[in-house]
Amino acid sequence: MAKTYFTEDHEWLSVEGGVATVGITDYAQEQLGDLVFVELPDAGKKLAKGDTAVVVESVKAASDVYAPVDGEITEANGALSSDPALVNTAATGDGWLWKMKLADESQLDGLMDEAAYKAHIG
């Protein structure tokens, strides 16, 4: 069963079998406003924690989305190329950004669970 983690930068990760699906939280998409463009990463790209993985552009501003852990991109959400607003309507579902194979699962220990994240944004 997948386990979900959250970062202080308002990303969520759903981890199952050593692969994380990553997106931004509802809180983050509300702060950004309507997304008009998502620059997706290429499969095979290796990322270190803190590297810029995705750039999202809204009517307000462009923002970087950072890799929450070390790993390698296995897939980007191609549906966002034609419909970036999926992030606004389903940030924690169909609006996911990328999937990555984890390089070091112990990095997950530094992330928050949902209750801690809600307290963080509260």
Please, what are the domains in the chain? Answer: 3-121 (2.40.50.100)
Question: What integer pLDDT is reported at residue 1 of this predicted model?
Answer: 86
The yes-or-no verdict on residue 45 having pLDDT over 90 is yes
Residue pointed to by tokens 């801690």: 116
pLDDT tens-digit map of 108-117: 999 999 999 9
* The residue to which tokens 């852990």 are assigned: 69
pTM for the predicted model, two decimal places: 0.96
Using one digit for the tens of pLDDT, what is the confidence trace for 52-103?
A: 999 999 998 899 999 999 999 999 999 999 999 999 999 999 999 999 999 9
Do residues 108 and 69 make contact, with C-beta atoms less than 8 angstroms apart?
A: yes
Identify the residue whose tokens are 């999937």.
99
Residue 31 pairs with which residues in a beta bridge? none
Can you tell me which residue has the tokens 């959400």?
77
